[in-house]
Structures are given as C-alpha cells and as structure tokens.
C-alpha cells in the first residue's frame, strides 16, 4: 500500500468517526456511545469524549502519515490514492463500528427511537460497504493513471526516501 493511500485510510477512519460523533451523537442526538446500556447522560458524554479523543488521535496520525508521504503527492494518481484511501477508511469505520457496536455488543443503535431501528443499522452498514467499494474502485483506477503526467508545475521533486 502506498504511503499516500495509508495516510488516506487513517484520515478516513478519523473523519468517519468525527462524522458519526458530530452528526448522530451531537446534532441529531439519536444515540451516544453506550446509550443502550446506560441512561446516565454524564457517563454517555464521557464515553463520547473518549470516542472523539480516539478519532482525534487517528486524525493526527493520518496527518503525520500524509506529511511523510508528501513526496508521493506530485505523482500521477496520488489524488486517487489519497481519496480512495479516505473512502476506504471512512467505509471501514462504518462497517467495523456498525458490526461491533450495533450488532455484536448492542451498545447503541443508529436511530433507536425509530420504528425501523434495524433498517437504520443496516443502512449504516450499506453506506459503509458503498464507501469501501467506491474507495477500492478509485484505488484501482489510480493504477490506470497516465504515468507521464504531473500534478504540479515546476521542477521535479527529489524522490521519497
């Protein structure tokens, strides 16, 4: 896996976590990390905070990996490598978090107040699968990028070490 793709996957995991926490936990207030096992809002908020701390660390690691891959960025297909990796990471977040938290552990549902709570959970997994497939397709397409093109103008950069 190219360093650019690896950075994209880690950034995608972080962004998937941030999206989930911001949209479902805070904006919509459909659930918290452990809302199905505890009704204590203070405990739920603390669990959400730990969840966001992990997402923040993933984002930091992703930025560090992207910095380490900076010499790959002018290469043909590097945008697809980064974007495909991010889609792959965000989709993987949905699949893993959905399978573990919603189905195996049952610590929360996507929209527990809905009469179609299981449909929301399955839709969350389907979105994750769609993102993974889109990321994979973008990464596969990256390999077909023309080898002579450059993503920037100016003198060539030294090769990555």
pLDDT digits (tens, 9 = 90+) for 38-53: 999 999 999 999 999 9
Handedness of CA 88, 93, 99, 102 (dihedral sign): negative
Domain positions in the chain? 3-142
The contacts of residue 123 (CB under 8 Å, 6+ apart) are: 110
Give me the mean pLDDT over the 46-73 stretch.
97
Please tell me the distance from the alpha carbon of residue 43 to that of residue 32, in angstroms, as a whole number.
10
pTM: 0.85
Mean pLDDT of the chain: 91
pLDDT digits (tens, 9 = 90+) for 84-124: 999 999 999 999 999 999 999 999 999 999 999 999 999 99
59 Rama class: left (phi>0) / alpha (psi -120 to 50) / beta: alpha
């Amino acid at each position: 896996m190219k360093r650019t793709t690896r950075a994209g996957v880690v950034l995608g995991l972080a962004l998937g976590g941030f999206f989930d926490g911001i949209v479902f936990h805070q904006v919509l207030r459909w659930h918290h990390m452990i809302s199905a096992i505890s009704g204590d809002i203070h405990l739920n908020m603390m669990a959400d905070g730990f969840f966001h701390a992990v997402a923040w660390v993933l984002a930091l690691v992703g930025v560090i990996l992207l910095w380490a891959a900076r010499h790959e960025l002018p290469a043909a297909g590097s945008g697809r490598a980064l974007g495909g990796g991010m889609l792959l990471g965000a989709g993987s977040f949905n699949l893993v978090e959905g399978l573990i938290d919603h189905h195996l552990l049952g610590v929360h549902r996507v929209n527990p107040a809905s009469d179609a709570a299981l449909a929301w959970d399955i839709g969350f997994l389907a979105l994750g699968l769609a993102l993974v497939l889109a990321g994979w397709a973008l990464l596969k397409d990256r390999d077909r990028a023309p080898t002579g093109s450059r993503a920037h103008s100016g003198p060539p950069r030294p090769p990555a070490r």
